[in-house]
Amino acid sequence: MRLSELRLSLRFRIIAVLAVVLAAGAVVLGAAAWQSSSLAAQQAYDRLLRGGAVQIAENVYVQGGVVTVEPPVSTIATLADYDLVFYKVVDPRGIVVAGYEDLVSDADPVETRAGVVIEDGTYQGQPVRIATLARQIDMPGTNNWSTIVVAQTTEARRALARDLTLKALGVIAVMSVLALLAAAYAVTLALKPLTRIEREIASRRPDDLRPIAAEPPLEIRNLVEAIDDFMRRLSERMAVMQRFIADAAHQIRTPLAALDAQVEILIGTPPSRRKADTVKRIHERTAELGRLTGQLLDHAMVIHRKDAAATAPVDLNELAKAVLAKAVPLSLSREVDIAFEPAEGSPVVNGDAVSLREALGNLIDNALKHGARSRLVVAVGEGPGRAWIEVADDGEGFAAPLTELARPFAKGADSTGSGLGLSIATEVAEAHGGGLTVSRENGMTHVRLEVACS
């Protein structure tokens, strides 16, 4: 796996996040371990230092009017096992009777009379912990308080703190590694359903768009359902396109065969009146084939734009007026009165203007070719939540129900045309939240293309 693919891996991302969290936790725990170890070492050595000061104080007494001290050798030896030890005994007169004269304590004398006072200090250039204690003795003419000062260097304390911290860090490191390995294993187990889904999809044929059979985890159930829904819609679209291609291939063969036959007749016929009739029929077949090809492309475009095209506000008055002006040819084989009746409120819908133009153009073309005898009316209207464009003509109407005629390549009783006009209009209307309806009033056939208002 390349580095770029590794960075996009869900497993890598989860483990990387866990590793960062565990590393941050290890740093925090390491700092806490150092603090705790330092405090524990300090307390342990302070207890030894305090005990040593008390034992030295217990060996201070007055003999012959002079303060005398017999330092407990075992106590000093115990303290000296870990660090350097310094002490000083000062009698009530302020005279140093034993120890190091330059050893100084900043402890409050009042506090030292209540118990041992421990403080940080420096002696002979080394950091030390100093324990100071005052002991009351009977010495006339003085304040009767003798001061005992014991100092110990801190190297052993720091060594103990380091040792405890390193042991704690070792435990933290082992636990972090175990946690990371357990997390990696758990992630691998958790992602196994994704692997099963991947294998199921990869093993399918291109036309197998059934829902995914593998049971997905709860966290990706919505994703799998979205994929299933997408495959369902894709399957429906493929079925529509396959049916359309099959029907189109069948429908195109007829005019092509007729055109080929007319050309054969034309080739084998000498110049005569019949030849002119044959050329006319060839022209008609060519025009029919052109119209069929155009509507096939329009139908394919409408199917494609049904889900793919972006919607925008469309003024139905403007759209209907523009389509009517373009759809009516400059000359007709009969005289037809054409009228346009716009809506008063200029209804605006949120839709695909291209598809709406194609649908309306096909309705007008159907009305002119197969319906209108002498009158054609295009009207725009709107109602609660709906707007519509209506094409009315004074023809005889439809010989079959709209549901039958709206199927691709369905034709009326005259068996002319491509049978795609009403199908295109129906699909566009349904794509815009409406539908196509047909009614008959006052000798006029009304075909209404309804859409939902935004």
pLDDT in tens, 100-136: 889 989 899 889 888 999 999 999 989 999 999 998 8
Measured distance CA(196)–CA(193) in Å, rounded:
5
Q: What is the tally of structural domains in the chain?
A: 2
Which of 159, 190, 221 marks a domain boundary?
A: 190
Measured distance CA(220)–CA(76) in Å, rounded:
71
Res. 146: pLDDT tops 60: yes
Give a yes or no: residue 91 inside a domain. yes
Which of 190, 223, 256 marks a domain boundary?
A: 190
Res. 420: pLDDT tops 90: no
Which of 124, 155, 190 marks a domain boundary?
A: 190
* pLDDT (0 to 100) of residue 172: 92
**Residues forming a β-bridge with 349:** 314
Measured distance CA(191)–CA(9) in Å, rounded:
11
- Joined together, the tokens standing for residue 159 give 């060594």
Which of 238, 233, 189, 194 shows the shortest CA–CA distance to 211?
233
- Write out pLDDT tens, residues 323-358: 988 888 766 767 888 899 998 878 888 888 888 888
CA dist 184 → 21, 116, 190, 193 (Å): 14, 55, 10, 16
- Write out pLDDT tens, residues 13-39: 888 888 999 999 999 999 999 999 999
- Write out pLDDT tens, residues 298-312: 666 666 556 656 678
Give a yes or no: residue 55 inside a domain. yes
| Judgement on whether residues 170 and 319 belong to the same structural domain of the protein | no
Q: Are 262 and 288 in contact (CB under 8 A)?
A: no
Q: Which range is least confidently modeled, 192-206, 289-303, 358-372? A: 289-303
Give a yes or no: residue 375 inside a domain. yes
Res. 139: pLDDT tops 80: no
Res. 416: pLDDT tops 60: no
Res. 61: pLDDT tops 60: yes
- Write out pLDDT tens, residues 235-293: 877 776 776 666 666 566 666 776 777 677 767 666 655 666 767 777 666 766 666 66
Give a yes or no: residue 318 inside a domain. yes
* pLDDT (0 to 100) of residue 440: 86
- Joined together, the tokens standing for residue 273 give 């009146």
Better-scored residue on pLDDT, 7 or 321: 321
| Judgement on whether residues 42 and 172 belong to the same structural domain of the protein | yes
State the burial class of residue 402 (Cβ atoms within 10 Å of its Cβ: 0-12, 13-18, 19+).
middle
Q: Specify the CATH number for the domain of residue 447.
A: 3.30.565.10
| Judgement on whether residues 50 and 178 belong to the same structural domain of the protein | yes
| Judgement on whether residues 175 and 316 belong to the same structural domain of the protein | no
Rounded to a whole number of angstroms, the distance between the first and last alpha carbons of the chain is 50
- Please list, residue by residue across 244-267, b when 16 or more beta carbons sit within 10 angstroms of its beta carbon and e when fewer do: beebbeebeeebeebbeebeeeee
Q: Assign 64 a pLDDT band (cuts: 50, 70, 90).
A: confident
Q: What is the dihedral of CA 362, 363, 369, 371, to 10 degrees?
A: 170
* pLDDT (0 to 100) of residue 170: 93
| Judgement on whether residues 23 and 154 belong to the same structural domain of the protein | yes
- Write out pLDDT tens, residues 205-214: 877 888 888 8
pTM over 0.85: no
Give a yes or no: residue 29 inside a domain. yes
Give a yes or no: residue 254 inside a domain. no
DSSP summary character for residue 97: E
Give a yes or no: residue 280 inside a domain. no
Mean pLDDT for the chain?
Answer: 81
Measured distance CA(123)–CA(105) in Å, rounded:
10
Q: Are 119 and 175 in contact (CB under 8 A)?
A: no
Run of H or E including 380: strand 375-383
Measured distance CA(291)–CA(94) in Å, rounded:
126
> 366 is in which domain, residue-wise?
310-454
Give a yes or no: residue 244 inside a domain. no
